[in-house]
Structure 1
Amino acid sequence: MAHFIRDTCIGCTACVKVCPTEAITGARDQVHLIAPELCIDCGACTMACPVECIENDRGEILPRIRKRTEWPKPVIDPVSCTGCQFCVDVCPFDCLEMSGDTFHSIAVLVDPKACVGCGLCEEVCAKDAIDVRFPPKESVA
Structure 2
Amino acid sequence: MAHFIDEKCIGCTACVSVCPTEAITGERNSLHVIDPRLCIDCSACVRVCPVLAIQDEFGVYKPRIPKRADWPKPVVDPVACTGCNFCVEICPFDCLELSGEGDFAGIAVLTKPNACVSCRECEEVCAKGAIIVMPKEEKHPALVLEGRA
TM-score by length of 1: 0.94
Shift of 1:136: 1.2
**1:14 paired residue number:** 14
| Alignment pair present for 1:65 and 2:71 | no
- Do the aligned partners of 2:3 and 2:34 also contact (CA within 8 Å) in 1? yes
| Alignment pair present for 1:29 and 2:29 | yes
Moved over 3 A (4+): none
What are the within-5 Å matches in structure 2 for residues 1-141 of structure 1?
1-101=1-101, 102-136=103-137
What do residues 79-134 of structure 1 show as CA deviations (whole Å, max 9, x unaligned)? Answer: 11101000000000000011112224111000000001010000000110000001
In structure 1, what is the Cα distance between the partners aligned to 2:58 and 2:126?
26
- Structure 2: tracts of 5 or more residues without a match: 139-149
- Structure 1: tracts of 5 or more residues without a match: none
Shift of 1:23: 0.5
What do residues 1-28 of structure 1 show as CA deviations (whole Å, max 9, x unaligned)? Answer: 0000001101111101111111001111
Secondary structure of the structure 1 residue equivalent to 2:107:
strand
- Tell me the amino acid that sits aligned with residue 14 of structure 1: A
**2:142 paired residue number:** none
Q: Say how many residue pairs are matched.
A: 137
In structure 2, what is the Cα distance between the partners aligned to 1:103 and 1:18?
33
Question: CA-atom RMSD, angstroms?
Answer: 1.0
In structure 1, what is the Cα distance between the partners aligned to 2:8 and 2:45?
15
In structure 1, what is the Cα distance between the partners aligned to 2:40 and 2:135?
18
Shift of 1:59: 1.0
